[in-house]
């Protein structure tokens, strides 16, 4: 049966390709994390444009590998929405098409997310355009706050307050926990733990990215903050081996008081868990202040993509940047990437998005060409070290971090 369909597809392809019309179809990939908004945008685009996009959703963890392999075999997609942190590596490897001229001709170029553009630019050429944004925020369960006698409308603004609230909620019962984080997930922790260290004055890399600064006083304090909560039983046992599969679900199940999370959670909670009453706030530093991780996707075009397809791709980008496109994006749980119309795009949506969009403006995106090796890999030094420290004893924290820093440094040095 699938064979017949295959032949059918081939026939269609041969019929469709040589037709000398303006309408072009281009292939587009998005990681599974984008499956809440991308299909809607593509559908709307296809409905109103002479061109059309053919969407494929790829498992998040496999996107880079699949793309590289498809590219080596000459079957790379024409365009893809790529986790922004990979844009430098892809661009430097000559895989991407230079979009500088197109980008600079956009009227609203100056209001496109600067965090996205900074990683999308390699040696002054733009290879990646902001597509979707996601900032990290703190979320708390208002029902549990009420039960614990806490004010459900006041978010913790320091680490001491987080700890205090978490203890009060944890005391509610055996199955209720104060705090949750995915302790074996590198991506989750760079997204949510690191901003709390940034807000306290710590750094992960030197400004040019050539030195690891893992073992800093601020980092030690941050790790100790988490570690003590783990030791005192405020965090469920499952967190120790959670490589990200419970990053969202743990809180959504309703028995977690506080968790650092992302703007994506707002959309997901509203649609899948409409009964959960929760608040959204900034990720605080030790004694106040706040920070956020500016994440999301860049839109990139494969270097091998046919010139003929460019009008279709450009039309798609412009559609995504239109108010309608930005609204669809926001409705699907991502943040707009055009600051000039962000407010308009978010109009009528959950007001908690506004805070997340605001967090984006103060968001940071750490940059390293070996980001995957260092941070995202389940076996990289970042998460291995943190995991050891979070679930170890207090006197080992310093030594563990120093070791982790050395490992990171050797990977960075290796790459240079």
Partner 1 sequence: MIGLLYVAPALALVAVFFAIPLGMTIWMSLHDWPLMGQKRWVGFANYERMWGDSGFWGALSFTGTYTVAVTIGLLGLGMILALMVERPGRATAFYRTAYFLPVVIGFASASLLWAWLSNVDSGLFSPLMQNLGLTERRVNINADYGLAFWSVNVMVVWKMVGFFMVILMSGLQSIPRDYLEAARIDGAGALQRFRFITMPLVRRPFALALILCVSGSMLAFDQFYIILNGGPQNSTITAVYWIFNESFVSFRLGYGAALSVVLLGILLVLSAIQLRLLRDREDGS
Partner 2 sequence: MRPYRILYHVTALLVAFLFLAPIAIVVLASFRTPAESGQPPLPPWPIEGASIDSYVRLDGFGASLLQHTGNSLYVALGTTILTVLVSVLAGYGFSRFRFPLKPMIFVLILATIMVPFQSILTPLFLLLASLGLQNTLTGLVLIYTTLQLPFSVFMMRNAFDAVPKEIEEAARIDGVRDLRMLVYVMGPLVLPGIVTVGLFAFLNAWNEFLAALVLLTDQSKYTLPVLMTSVRSGRFGSVDWGAVQAGVTVMMIPCLILFLILQRHYIRGLTAGAVK
**Residue 73 interacting entry, from partner 2, partner 1, none, C-beta within 5 to 8 Å by type:** partner 2
Applying CB under 8 A, among 18, 20, 73, 94 the residue interacting with partner 2 is 73
**Residue 393 interacting entry, from partner 1, partner 2, none, C-beta within 5 to 8 Å by type:** none
128-136, 279-287, 330-338, 375-383 -> range binding partner 1 (CB under 8 A): 375-383
Q: How far is the CB of 237 from partner 1 (least distance, A)?
A: 4
Contact status: 93 vs partner 1 (CB under 8 A): yes
Q: Are residues 301 and 312 in contact, defined by beta-carbon separation less than 8 angstroms? A: no
Distance of alpha carbon 229 from alpha carbon 222, whole angstroms: 11
Spatial CB neighbours of 69, under 8 Å, sequence gap ≥ 6: none
Radius of gyration (Cα) for the chain, nearest Å?
22
Q: Are residues 219 and 197 in contact, defined by beta-carbon separation less than 8 angstroms? A: yes
Distance of alpha carbon 111 from alpha carbon 342, whole angstroms: 10
Strands 288-301 and 363-364: parallel
Distance of alpha carbon 5 from alpha carbon 333, whole angstroms: 34
Q: How far is the CB of 401 from partner 2 (least distance, A)?
A: 26
Nearer to partner 2, 34 or 130 (CB): 34
Burial of 358 (0-12, 13-18, 19+ CB in 10 A): middle
Which region holds residue 173: left if phi is over 0, alpha if psi is between -120 and 50, else beta? left
Applying CB under 8 A, among 16, 245, 323, 415 the residue interacting with partner 2 is 245
Contact status: 65 vs partner 1 (CB under 8 A): yes
Contact status: 60 vs partner 2 (CB under 8 A): yes
Applying CB under 8 A, among 237, 304, 323, 394 the residue interacting with partner 1 is 237
Contact status: 66 vs partner 2 (CB under 8 A): yes
Distance of alpha carbon 99 from alpha carbon 115, whole angstroms: 17
216-224, 225-233, 249-257, 334-342 -> range binding partner 2 (CB under 8 A): 249-257
Contact status: 243 vs partner 1 (CB under 8 A): yes
Contact status: 69 vs partner 1 (CB under 8 A): yes
Number of residues that bind partner 1 (CB under 8 A): 28
66-74, 158-166, 261-269, 290-298 -> range binding partner 1 (CB under 8 A): 66-74
Burial of 413 (0-12, 13-18, 19+ CB in 10 A): exposed
Phi and psi dihedrals of 410, rounded to 5? Answer: -70, -35
Applying CB under 8 A, among 387, 397, 403, 405 the residue interacting with partner 1 is 387
Distance of alpha carbon 369 from alpha carbon 382, whole angstroms: 15
Contact status: 388 vs partner 1 (CB under 8 A): yes
| E strand or H helix at 256 | strand 256-262
| Residues β-bridged to residue 251 | none
Applying CB under 8 A, among 159, 198, 247, 282 the residue interacting with partner 2 is 247
Contact status: 271 vs partner 2 (CB under 8 A): no
Kindly identify the residues of this chain, within the stretch 87-126, that bind partner 2 according to CB under 8 A: none
Kindly identify the residues of this chain, within the stretch 371-410, that bind partner 2 according to CB under 8 A: none
Q: Are residues 369 and 414 in contact, defined by beta-carbon separation less than 8 angstroms? A: no
Question: Over the range 119-151, which residues count as b (16 or more CB within 10 Å of their CB) and which as e?
Answer: bbbbeeebbbbbbbbbbbbbbbbbebbebbebe
28-36, 37-45, 112-120, 324-332 -> range binding partner 2 (CB under 8 A): 28-36
Q: How far is the CB of 272 from partner 2 (least distance, A)?
A: 8
Number of residues that bind partner 2 (CB under 8 A): 35
Phi and psi dihedrals of 175, rounded to 5? Answer: -90, 5
Which residues form the interface with partner 1 (CB under 8 A)?
65, 68-69, 71-72, 89-90, 92-95, 184, 236-238, 240-241, 243, 246, 372-373, 377-379, 384, 387-388, 391
Which residues form the interface with partner 2 (CB under 8 A)?
1-3, 32-33, 35-36, 56-62, 65-66, 69-70, 72-75, 182, 188, 244-249, 252-253, 264-265, 268
């Amino acid at each position: 049966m699938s064979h017949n369909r295959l032949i059918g597809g081939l026939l269609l392809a041969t019929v469709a390709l040589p037709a000398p019309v303006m309408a072009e179809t281009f292939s587009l990939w998005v990681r599974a994390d984008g499956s809440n908004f991308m299909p809607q945008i593509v559908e709307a685009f296809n409905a109103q444009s002479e061109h059309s996009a053919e969407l494929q959703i790829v498992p998040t963890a496999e996107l880079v590998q699949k793309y590289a392999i498809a590219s080596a075999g000459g079957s790379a997609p024409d365009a893809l929405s790529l986790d922004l942190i990979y844009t430098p590596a892809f661009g430097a490897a000559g895989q991407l098409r230079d979009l500088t001229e197109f980008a600079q001709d956009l009227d609203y170029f100056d209001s496109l997310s600067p965090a996205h553009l900074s990683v999308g630019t390699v040696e002054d050429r733009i290879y990646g355009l902001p597509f979707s944004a996601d900032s990290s925020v703190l979320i708390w369960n208002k029902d549990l706050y009420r039960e614990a006698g806490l004010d459900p409308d006041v978010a913790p603004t320091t680490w001491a307050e987080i700890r205090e609230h978490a203890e009060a909620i944890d005391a509610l019962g055996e199955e209720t926990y104060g705090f949750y984080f995915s302790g074996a997930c590198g991506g989750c922790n760079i997204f949510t733990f690191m901003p709390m260290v940034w807000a306290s004055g710590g750094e992960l890399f030197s400004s040019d990215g050539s030195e690891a600064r893992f073992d800093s006083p601020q980092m030690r304090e941050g790790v100790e903050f988490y570690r003590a909560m783990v030791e005192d039983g405020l965090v469920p046992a499952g967190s120790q081996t959670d490589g990200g599969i419970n990053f969202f679900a743990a809180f959504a199940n309703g028995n977690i008081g506080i968790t650092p999370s992302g703007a994506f959670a707002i959309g997901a909670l509203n649609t899948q868990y409409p009964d959960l009453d929760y608040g959204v706030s900034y990720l605080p530093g030790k004694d106040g202040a706040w920070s956020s991780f500016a994440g999301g996707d860049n839109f990139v075009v494969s270097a091998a993509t046919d010139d003929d397809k460019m009008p279709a791709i450009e039309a798609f980008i412009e559609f995504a940047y239109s108010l309608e496109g930005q609204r669809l994006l926001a409705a699907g749980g991502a943040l707009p990437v055009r600051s000039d119309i962000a407010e308009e795009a978010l109009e009528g949506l959950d007001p908690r998005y506004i805070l997340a969009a605001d967090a984006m403006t103060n968001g940071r995106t750490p940059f390293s060409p070996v980001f995957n090796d260092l941070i995202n890999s389940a076996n990289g030094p970042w998460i291995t070290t943190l995991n050891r420290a979070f679930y170890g004893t207090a006197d080992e924290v310093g030594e563990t971090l120093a070791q982790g820093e050395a490992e990171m440094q050797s990977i960075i040095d290796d790459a240079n």
